[in-house]
Amino acid sequence: MPALVPASAAPAVPDLLAAVHRLEASVGTVVRGKPQAIRLAVTTLLARGHLLIEDIPGVGKTTLARSLAAAVGGTFRRIQFTSDLLPSDITGVTIYDPDNRHFELRKGPIFANIVLADEINRTTPRTQSALLEAMSEGHVSIDDTTHELGQPFMVLATQNPIEHFGTYPLPESQMDRFLLRIHVGYPQRQVERDILKDRAGGDPVASLSAVIDHAQLRAAQDAVERVRIDDALVDYAMSVVEETRRNVAIAVGVSTRGALAWYRAAQAHAFADGRDYAVPDDFKQLAVPALAHRITLPAAHESLGRARTEAERAISEIV
CATH (residue range 14-318)? 3.40.50.300
Give SS3 for 168: coil
pTM: 0.90
Give yes or no for a contact between 311 and 32, defined as CB atoms under 8 angstroms apart. no
- For residue 241, the tally of other CB atoms under 10 A from its CB is 20
What backbone torsions phi and psi does residue 144 show, to the nearest 5 degrees?
65, 15
Say if residue 152 is preceded by a cis peptide, omega within 30 of 0.
yes
Residue extents of the structural domains in the chain: 14-318
Other Cβ atoms closer than 10 A to 112: 21
pLDDT tens track, the chain, 319 positions: 555 555 444 445 889 999 999 999 999 999 999 999 999 999 999 999 999 999 888 888 999 999 999 999 999 999 999 999 999 999 998 888 888 778 888 999 999 999 999 999 999 999 998 898 899 999 998 888 889 999 999 999 999 887 777 788 888 888 999 999 999 988 889 988 888 887 766 788 888 999 999 999 999 999 999 999 999 999 999 999 999 999 988 989 999 999 999 999 999 999 999 999 999 999 999 999 999 999 988 865 545 667 778 888 888 888 8
Query: Cα(282)–Cα(17) distance, rounded to whole angstroms?
Result: 17
